[in-house]
Amino acid sequence: MGAVRKPVLVRMMIARMRRCAWLLTLTMIALTSCTGAHRSPDTIQVDIEGSPISTDPRFTTDILSSRINELVFDAMVRIDRNGQFVARLAESYERPTPTELVFHLRHDVHFSDGRPLTARDVKFTFDSILAPETGTPKRAGLSHLKSVSTPDDYTVVMTTDGPYAPALEFAMQTIVPDGTPLPARSSAIGPPGAGPFRMASFVRDESIVLERNPYFPAPANAPSTILFKVVPDPTVRALELTEGVSDFSENNIQPDVLPYLSKQPHLAISKSPGSSYRYLAFNFRDPYLRDVRVRRAIAYSIDRASIINSMMRGAARAATGLLAPENWAYDGNLPIYNYDPAKARQLLDEAGYPAGPDGMRRLRFVYKTTPEQSSLAQALQAMFKRVGITLEIRSNEFATFYSDIQKGNFDLTSLNWVGTNDPNHYYMIFDSKMTPPHGGFNRGYYTNPEMDRLVETGARTLDLSEREQIYAQVQRLAAEDLPYVSLWWDDTVVVMNRELHGFTPYPNGSLISLATLTLQGPGAAEPSE
Amino acid sequence: MIAYVTRRLFALIPVALGVATLTFAIIHLVPGDPVIAMLGETAAPADVEGMRHQLGLDRPVLEQYFSYLGGLAVGDLGESISYRKPVSRIIAERYPATIELAAAGMLVALLIAFPLGIIAGSKPGGTGDIAAMGFAILGISVPHIYLGPLLMILFSLDLRWLPLTGRGGFSHLVLPAITLGTALAAIIARMLRQSLIGVRESDYMRTAISKGLSERAALIRHGLRNALTSVITIIGLQMGSLLSGTLITEMIFSWPGLGRLLISAIGARDYPTVEGCVLAFALTYVVVNMATDLIYALVDPRVRIS
C-alpha cells in the first residue's frame, strides 16, 4: 500500500515545488522591476556618516553640522580654497583701529524666506551667541569679542577687547534672521539662511534634504536638490557609490576601497592636498613623557612613510606640524624625525626610561574607535615593539575615549585637527592655560613658558610679517619640543559621479562648492587622480 | 486564559522595573558626559553647568533615578537630550521599523529552517542531512556584518535585483531580513532536526507507518507537530538574539529602527533615549515569550493554559 501511495505524494510535492518556483520567479521579476538605482536628474545624493548635531549655526561646533550649514547659511567673510578671506555678505571690510573691524554689507542679500539681510540680523546673531542664557558652545570662541554695533542698516562694527589678530575669523560666523528663537523641540529644520540652499527636511539619523534658495543665483544645469543620506557603514557608502545610488563622497571612504572604486567607469576619484592634520599627543602628567628624549624616541620609532603608503594608500602627506604648506604662516624648514629605531632605543636608554622584567617599556595608547585609528594603533604597536616599547591599546567610542582624555587616563593618543586656518590655533592647543575644561584643547597638559609667550604675542600682533616670524618660531619650538608627533596631512579625497562637474575640493574639506556643481558643466574641469 | 494573560502582563511590571534600574545604573556608570558630547570640549564651564542644570543632570543620581521611575509609572520616558522630543514619541516612530525587520527576519528564518530541518531530520546521516547541517553551520558562523555587505554585492550590485539600503517597500526588506534571519534559521533547523530524530522512534510514528504511511509522510503529518514544541521554545528564546541582531543589521542597511537609535543614543550619552530603547527591547522580548507560551496550547492539545 505504501508503495502505491509514495508516487502520489512525490507527484504532489513536485507540483507544489513547481508552484513555489513560479511564485519565486514572479516575485523576483516584480522585485527587479520595482528597484533600479537611477538617480533623479535633479537630485544628487551625498552619503554622510552621521547626523549633524544642530541645524542652527549659532550652536554648531561639529564638522558635519558646519559642512551642511555652510550650504544653508552665509557669513560676512569666508575662507577660499587658498586660505584667503573672501567677502561674502560683506562687500568690503577694514580695520580702522587695532580693536575695530568694520564690515559694509551687500544690499542685495535675502534669506531663503524672502526677508532682506541687514546689519540687524548680524548683530542679533552675535548677541544671541554671546548671551549666556543661550548656552551655546560657540560663546567661548568669541570671548575676545566685546561688542557688535550697527551704525546703519548695512554697516557692522565689531569691537574686540584689545588687539586680536584672528578677529576676522569671528566674521566667519554664519548669520540667522533677527528674532530667530532658540532651537525648539518642534523645529528640526533650522532657521532660514542666506546661503545657496534652504533646508527642506531633516530626519535625524536618516536624511537631510536641501533645496535651492530661490533668492540665491544658481548656475545653469545645477541640480535643484541635494539629498544627504545617513549611511553609517563605510563599506555600504562605497557600495552605494558603485551602484550609482549615491553620487558624491568626500573624505568618508576608507582608503583601501579606493582602488576598487577607481575601476568603476561612472566614478571619478580626485585626490588633492588637504589640511586635516593627524598627530600623536603625549600626556605630560606622566613624568617620563615629560622628558623630551622620550618623546623624540617615539617620533623616531614611527615609520610614517610606510603607514602612509600602506594604510592610507598614499592619500596623505607626511606632516611637519599643524600648519600645512598651503597656509600663509607655514615654515618649510623644520626638523623632521625620519624612522630610526636604533636612535629611538638609544634615546630611551639615555632618558633612563625604566623597563619591566621582560625588558620592555609600557605605554598606553587611547583612541576613538574608527577603522583608520585601529589600523594606526596596530601599526604603531608593531613599530614600537622594535624599539622595546609594548603599546597597550585601548579603543573606545568617543564619549568614553574623551572621558579618558579628560581624566588623563592615557599616555599617547591620536586625533586630528580639521580646518585650521589662523595659526592662533597653536594658542588653543599648546598654551598652558588652555587645558580642559577651560575651553581649550591642551589635552596633554603641555607647559612651556616660551611657547606661552610666543602664542600669546602671536594672538595680539596685527602685522602680518611679524606674525609670520612669531609662528615660524612657534612651529620650530613645537617640532623640537614635541608636544605632538606630527603624522600626516590627509588628502581631500573626492569620489564623484562623472555626470557631475564643477566641484572644487577645499583643503579643509568644505563642501561649499556642491552649490556650483552642474550636471553637464561646459568646460568644467573633471577631477583627475 | 484571560486570567493567565493578565497575570503575565502584570509580571511585566517587575521586569520593567529591573530593566529600567539596570539600564539606568549601567549608562550612568559608563564614562562619558551627555553635555560634553553635545556642546563639545570648547564650551565654557559656565555653559556646561547651565546645560547640566537645564537637563537636571546636576541633581543627585538617586534623585534622578526616582524621578525617572516616577515618570515611567505614568508612561513618561522623559525627553531625549539630542532630539529634544519625548522619548516615547521617538520610540513610537522607530519601533514599527524594527518590528517589521524582526518579523521579516523571523519569517525568513522559518522559511529556511523548516525545509532544511525536515530534510535533515527525515534521513539522519543522509546526503540531505549533511548538506542541510553544513548550511546550518555556515549560517551560524557568518556574522551579520559580513553577510549583509555580501548579499548587497550579489543582489544589489551584480544582479541589480534589490535596493542597497533604506526602508521602503517590500524590496527594501528582503536583504536585511535575510541577513538577520540566516543565523536564526540555522539554529531552528538544527533544533528541528534533533526533535524530528527524537520523535521518529515514538509509538505513534510506528503505528502511522504500519498503517501504510510512508516514513516521510508520517514524519510531516504526525511527527512535525510533536517536534514543534521544542522549536517554539527556541524561537521564543532566540527572539533576544534576533532583536540584538537588528542593531547591526540596521546599521549596515541604514534601516531607521530602534537599533540605530540606540547606538547613536549611546554615543551621545542620551540617557533617556538609551533607557527607553532598552526598555522597549526588553518588553518586546518578554511579550514574545509570553506569546510563545500561548502558542504551545495551539500546537499541543495536552497543554492547557491556566
Domain segments of chain A as ranges: 63-172, 274-490
**Burial of B186 per CB tally in 10 Å (0-12, 13-18, 19+):** buried
Residue-level pLDDT at A35: 40
Give dist(CA B270, CA A204) in Å, integer: 14
Enter the C-alpha cell of residue A432. Answer: 598652558
Rounded Cα gap, residues A52 and B142, in angstroms: 33
Q: What percent of chain A has pLDDT over 90?
A: 66
Cβ B280 vs Cβ B288: under 8 Å = no
Three-class DSSP category at A182:
coil
Residues in chain A: 529
Q: Break chain B into its structural domains and give their ranges.
A: 16-73, 96-299
Q: Considering only CB atoms, which chain A residues are within 8 Å of B268?
A: 399
Interface test with B, best of A10, A11, A35 (most B CBs within 10 A): A35
Question: Up-side HSE of residue A302: CA atoms within 13 Å toward CB?
Answer: 24
Burial (CB count within 10 angstroms: exposed 0-12, middle 13-18, buried 19+), residue A214: exposed
Of the ranges A316-325, B150-159, B254-263, the best mean pLDDT one:
A316-325
CB contact under 8 A, B43 and A37: no
Whether A204 contacts chain B with CB within 8 A: yes
What top-level class would CATH report for the domain B96-299?
mainly alpha
Residue type, A236: V
* Residue B304 pLDDT grade (very low, low, confident, very high; cuts 50, 70, 90): low
For chain B, say whether A230 makes contact (Cβ under 8 Å): yes
Residue B60: how many CB atoms within 10 A of its CB?
A: 8
Which amino acid type is present at position B247?
L
Q: Is B84 on the interface with A (CB under 8 A)?
A: yes
**Residue showing cell 554622510:** A48
Q: Is the pLDDT of residue A300 over 80?
A: yes
Nearest alpha carbon to residue A404 among B31, B30, B268, B266? B31
Residues 6+ apart with CB under 8 A from B158: none
Higher pLDDT, B54 or A103: A103
Q: What are phi and psi of A152, to 5 degrees?
A: -145, -175
| Topology adopted by domain A274-490 | Dipeptide-binding Protein; domain 3 (3.10.105)
Q: How far is CA A85 from CA A78, A125, A422, B107, in A?
A: 5, 20, 11, 59
β-bridge mates for residue A145, sequence order = A160
| pLDDT band, very low/low/confident/very high, at A210 (cuts 50, 70, 90) | very high
Contact A54, A183 (CB under 8 A): yes
Nearest of B282, A376, A344 to residue B274 by alpha carbon: B282
Verify whether the Cβ–Cβ distance B84 to A183 is below 8 Å: yes
Which pLDDT belongs to residue A53?
82
Q: What is the DSSP string of A29-47?
A: HHHHHH---PPPTTEEEEE
Other C-beta atoms within 10 Å of A357: how many?
5
Q: What is the pLDDT of residues A489-514, one digit of tens each?
A: 999 999 999 999 889 999 999 999 99
- CB nearest to A233's CB, from B42, B251, B267: B251
Bond before A116 cis per omega within 30 degrees = no
Mean pLDDT of chain A: 87
Q: Are A255 and B283 in contact (CB under 8 A)?
A: no
pLDDT band at residue A522 under the 50/70/90 scheme: very low
Predicted confidence (pLDDT) per residue in A380-437, tens digit: 999 999 999 999 999 988 888 888 888 888 999 998 898 888 999 999 999 999 887 7
| Helical packing angle, B2-29 and B61-73, nearest 10° | 150
Taking a C-beta distance cutoff of 8 angstroms, is the pair A58, A128 a contact? yes
Measured in whole angstroms, the distance separating CA A94 from the mean position of its chain's CA atoms is 30
Q: Distance between CA atoms of A67 and A76, rounded to whole angstroms? A: 17
Q: Which grid coordinates belong to A264?
A: 568603476
When the pLDDT of each residue in chain B is averaged and rounded to a whole number, the result is 86
**CB-based contact, A242 to chain B, within 8 Å:** yes
The per-residue pLDDT for B237 is 83
A39 — pLDDT class (breaks 50, 70, 90): low
The C-alpha atoms of residue A160 and residue A138 are separated, in whole angstroms, by: 16
Contact A398 B54 (CB under 8 A): no
Dist CA B74 CA A89 (whole Å): 51
Helix (H) or strand (E) holding A197: strand A197-203
Backbone angles phi, psi at A254, to 5 degrees: -65, 140
Cell numbers for B63: 534623585
Q: CB contact, 8 Å: A437 with chain B?
A: yes
Q: Searching chain B, which residue's CA lies closest to the CA of residue A143?
A: B44
Burial of A397 (0-12, 13-18, 19+ CB in 10 A): middle
Specify the residue for cell string 552642474: A518
Do B165 and A230 contact (CB within 8 A), yes or no? no
CB half-sphere exposure, A515, CA atoms < 13 A:
23
Return the sign of the alpha-carbon dihedral for residues B44, B47, B51, B53: positive
Calpha distance A504→A272 (Å, rounded): 10
Better pLDDT: B11 or B180 = B180
Burial class (CB in 10 A: 0-12, 13-18, 19+), B62: exposed
**H/E run at residue A148:** strand A145-152
Interface test with A, best of B41, B88, B167, B274 (most A CBs within 10 A): B41
What cell was used for A299?
A: 617620533
Looking from the CA of A485 toward its CB, the CA atoms found within 13 Å total: 25
Tally the C-alpha atoms within 13 A of residue A482's C-alpha that lie toward its C-beta. 22
List the grid coordinates of A486.
Answer: 606630527
- Say if A21 is an interface residue toward chain B (CB within 8 Å): no
DSSP A94: E
Instruction: For residues A179 and A277, give the distance between their C-alpha atoms in angstroms, rounded to a whole number.
Output: 38
Q: What is the model's pLDDT at position A439?
A: 67
Among chain A residues, the shortest Cα distance to B149 is held by A236
Task: Kindly list the distances between the CA atom of residue A171 and the CA atoms of A168, A181, A201, A222, A272, in Å, as whole numbers in the listed order.
Answer: 5, 21, 28, 29, 27
* Closest Cβ–Cβ partner in A28, A235, A439 for B44: A439
Q: Chains A, B: CB contacts under 8 A, how many?
A: 159
**How close is the nearest chain A Cα to the Cα of B112, in Å?**
14
Per CB-CB distance under 8 Å, the chain B contacts of A403 are: 31-33
What are the DSSP calls for A261-297, one per residue? HHT-TTEEEEEEEEEEEEEEEE-TTSTTTTSHHHHHH
User: Contact at 8 Å (CB) between B174 and B162?
Assistant: yes
Pick from B38, B46, B217: which is nearest to A9 by CB? B217
Asked if pLDDT for residue A187 goes beyond 80, the answer is no
Per-residue pLDDT, A283:
95
* Chain position carrying cell 507537530: B225
Which residue of chain B is at minimal alpha-carbon distance from A60?
B39
C-alpha cell at A65: 553640522
Handedness of CA A383, A389, A390, A392 (dihedral sign): negative
Please check whether the domain covering A63-172 is classified as CATH 3.40.50.920.
no
Q: How far is the C-alpha of B42 from the C-alpha of A403, rounded, in Å?
A: 14
Tell me the residue type at B61: V
pLDDT of B306 > 70? The answer is no
Provide CB contacts within 8 A for A219, sequence distance 6+.
A502, A516, A518, A521
pLDDT digits (tens, 9 = 90+) for B174-233: 999 999 999 999 999 998 888 888 887 788 888 888 888 887 788 777 888 788 888 888
- Whether the pLDDT of residue A166 is over 90: the answer is yes
How many Cβ atoms are within 10 Å of A457's Cβ, its own excluded? 16
Higher confidence at residue B28 or residue A296? A296
- Calculate helix-pair angle for B224-252, B258-267, nearest 10 degrees: 50
A446, pLDDT greater than 90: yes
Query: What does the alpha-carbon distance between residue B122 and residue B104 come to, in Å, rounded to a whole number?
Result: 27
Residue A404 is which amino acid?
Answer: D
Contact A165, A467 (CB under 8 A): yes
A50 contacts chain B (CB < 8 A): yes
Judged by CB atoms closer than 8 Å, whether chains meet at B38 and A53 is answered as: yes
